[in-house]
């Protein structure tokens, strides 16, 4: 396991890049036309390859389908079927490990027989032919299944059945445990799960204690067991009706849980953090302002600066808006939340994603009778954009967005349900970031006596940190003088009349969308 931690420490140090320029691409259909597809989820592996999963109708059956889009490529033409025909399979979730292996879980029913099924796809390979059965039982709750995968590929699923939160773990290349663990009492629901870089897993859920619901949590250390007695995250103030818990962990192993709480009059968003190896804070933080209802919180944490960001929906007296608050590592939540959406447009149910450097994106549906998908982004060293982007296009009605970002911050992808006439399809939009400039663009001059040509220039550079690079462009002044493949030797040679001509040379990087980085000037080494 130590090798994975060493790998991630190096990986995190490599990711200290600043804010990025990017633009959303037009949406595309990912699922087959003519069917009924819904409830998409998406994950992006560390190499920037994305996989979306969803529920799709095939004749009388509902099955789980998946489609993959390599970094810089296109969605596969024909989606893969993960579940078997003859089943009612819905609500999939997906996660990647550090080397790009994917695991998906979902709810499946055949008549009265209910189960949780799973499928594994190795990096660069295919989904397994027959899904695994993780658990079965008459009272499995279809909508409350979650999965987390640690860097080494060990997967853990949680779900609710008969009011009990259960969990099952599958070691990398191993099998799901025969008997699931019961990690809660008998009046629990809404489980969520996360795992840190060392493989320590944390689950949260709602537990009915007396006449009110509270947030409870349990941790399973890598190679160990779930704690015997869950922790209860309670507020000593007037708030006593908890809902919608969400959880995230940063690269330092600090876990943050957010939830909605209520006095019966207004809902507010609260949060509690447990430092790695420590205990939960005694009094939760209040993130949203009192006086108007706040709902549906989500939370994400990054991998290098250890910033945590929460977002939620709040009524502002006119309409529902999306708000967000951030907390730096070792600091406190900001005093006044940021407004991400525009007042008067009725924006609801946000989803959030962050890359390892702290660049964040929040997506949500907006509208009253006609819905579109909007998004707002915040660079790691900046502020939320002033006007949100619109990702979907009318007349397509769009719902249920989900968003994911690769660790290096090369691409962010959002997926959602799109209603096109009588057909329901899965749509996706990519946010492609302008490539990072190549580094160490330097050269050496040698005397060259050949007619009027007096100098020989040889230049070299290191690759752009962006993975989606199709070429490097060499300029002399404003004139493009060479295009070099990233697979070729990264060098350029030219003959000059005057030594001072070297000041005119610049280089840029270009990606698969023909987006060009800024140009960097040549430096001469004596």
DSSP per residue, 17-50? -----EEEPPPEE-SPTTSBEEEEEEEE-TTS-E
Q: Omega into 395 within 30° of 0, i.e. cis?
A: yes
Three-class SS state of 150: coil
pLDDT score for 5: 36
CATH numbers and ranges of domains, the chain: 23-138+402-428 (2.120.10.10), 439-524 (2.60.40.10)
pLDDT at 303 over 80: no
pLDDT at 449 over 90: no
Give CA 428 to chain center in angstroms.
Answer: 14
Distance, in Å, from the CA atom of 492 to the CA atom of 457, rounded to the nearest integer, reads: 8
pLDDT at 56 over 70: yes
pLDDT at 39 over 80: yes
Q: Is 211 left (phi over 0), alpha (psi -120 to 50) or beta?
A: alpha
Average pLDDT across the chain, whole number:
91
pLDDT score for 338: 97
Question: 73-77: long-range contacts (C-beta < 8 A, 24 or more apart)?
Answer: 73/512, 75/28, 75/30, 75/428
Confidence of residue 10 (pLDDT cuts 50, 70, 90): very low
176 near 192, Cβ under 8 Å?
no
261-286 confidence digits (pLDDT tens): 987 778 999 999 999 999 999 899 99
pLDDT score for 262: 85
- φ and ψ of 432, to 5 deg: -90, 125
Mean pLDDT, range 404-410, rounded to an integer: 89
Look at the block and give the residue holding tokens 């389908």.
65
pLDDT score for 2: 35
Q: Which of 116-120, 181-185, 425-429, 450-454 shows the lowest per-residue confidence on average (mean pLDDT)? A: 450-454
222 near 195, Cβ under 8 Å?
no
Q: Which of 19-28, 31-40, 329-338 shows the lowest per-residue confidence on average (mean pLDDT)? A: 19-28
370 near 408, Cβ under 8 Å?
no
pLDDT score for 160: 93
The neighbour count for residue 84, using CB atoms within 10 Å, is 16
Give CA 406 to chain center in angstroms.
Answer: 7
pLDDT score for 330: 86
pLDDT score for 1: 34
Smallest CA-to-CA distance from 175 within 132, 114, 220, 125 is with: 132
Mean pLDDT, range 114-132, rounded to an integer: 96
Q: Is 115 left (phi over 0), alpha (psi -120 to 50) or beta?
A: beta
Mean pLDDT, range 454-458, rounded to an integer: 92
End-to-end CA distance of the chain: 46
pLDDT score for 211: 83
Distance, in Å, from the CA atom of 365 to the CA atom of 371, rounded to the nearest integer, reads: 6
pLDDT at 239 over 80: no
Which residues 6+ apart lie within 8 Å of 277 measured at CB? 253
Mean pLDDT, range 365-391, rounded to an integer: 93
Distance, in Å, from the CA atom of 52 to the CA atom of 45, rounded to the nearest integer, reads: 11
């Amino acid at each position: 396991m130590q090798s994975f931690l060493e790998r991630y420490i190096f990986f995190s140090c490599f990711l200290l890049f600043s804010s990025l320029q990017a633009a959303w691409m037009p949406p595309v259909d990912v699922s087959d036309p003519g069917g009924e597809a819904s409830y998409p989820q998406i994950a992006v592996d560390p190499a920037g390859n994305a996989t979306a999963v969803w529920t799709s109708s095939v004749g009388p059956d509902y099955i789980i389908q998946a489609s993959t889009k390599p970094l810089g490529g296109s969605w596969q033409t024909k989606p893969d079927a993960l579940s078997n025909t003859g089943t009612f399979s819905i609500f999939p979730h997906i996660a990647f490990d550090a080397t790009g292996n994917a695991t998906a879980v979902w709810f499946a029913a055949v008549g009265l027989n209910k189960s949780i099924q799973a499928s594994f796809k190795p990096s660069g390979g295919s989904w397994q032919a027959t899904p695994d059965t993780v658990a079965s039982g008459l009272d499995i709750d279809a909508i409350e299944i979650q999965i987390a995968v640690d860097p080494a590929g060990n997967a853990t699923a949680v779900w609710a059945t008969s009011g009990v939160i259960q969990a099952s773990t599958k070691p990398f290349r191993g099998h799901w445990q025969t008997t699931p663990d019961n990690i809660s009492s008998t009046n629990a629901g809404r489980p969520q799960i996360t795992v840190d870089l060392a493989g320590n897993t944390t689950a949260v859920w709602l537990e009915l204690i007396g006449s009110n619901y509270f947030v409870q949590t349990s941790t399973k250390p890598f190679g160990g067991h779930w704690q015997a007695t869950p922790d209860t995250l309670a507020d000593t103030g007037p708030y006593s009706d908890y809902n919608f818990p969400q959880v995230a962990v940063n690269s330092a192993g600090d876990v943050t849980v957010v939830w909605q709480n209520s006095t019966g009059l207004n809902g507010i968003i609260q949060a509690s953090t447990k430092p790695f190896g420590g205990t939960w804070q005694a009094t939760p933080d209040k993130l949203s302002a009192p006086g108007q209802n706040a709902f549906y919180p989500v939370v994400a944490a990054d991998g290098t600066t250890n910033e945590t960001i929460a977002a939620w929906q709040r009524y502002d007296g006119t309409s529902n808006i999306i708000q967000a608050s951030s907390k730096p590592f070792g600091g406190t939540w900001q005093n006044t939340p940021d407004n991400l959406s525009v007042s008067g447009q009725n924006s609801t149910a946000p989803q959030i994603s962050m890359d390892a450097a702290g660049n964040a994106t929040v997506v949500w549906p907006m509208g009253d009778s006609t819905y579109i998908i909007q998004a707002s982004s915040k660079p790691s060293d900046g502020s939320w954009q002033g006007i949100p982007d619109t990702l979907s296009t009318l007349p397509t009605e769009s719902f249920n967005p989900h968003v994911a970002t690769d660790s290096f911050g090369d691409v962010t992808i959002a997926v959602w349900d799109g209603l096109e006439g009588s057909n329901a399809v899965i749509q996706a939009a990519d946010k492609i970031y302008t490539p990072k400039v190549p580094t160490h663009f330097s050269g050496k001059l040698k005397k060259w006596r050949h007619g009027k040509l007096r100098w020989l220039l040889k230049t070299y550079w290191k690759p752009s940190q962006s993975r989606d690079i199709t070429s490097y462009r060499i300029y002399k002044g404003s004139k493009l003088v060479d295009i070099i493949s990233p697979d070729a030797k990264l060098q350029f040679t030219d003959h000059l009349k005057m030594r001072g001509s070297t000041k005119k040379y610049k280089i840029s990087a270009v990606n698969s969308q023909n987006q060009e980085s800024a140009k960097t000037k040549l430096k001469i080494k004596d």
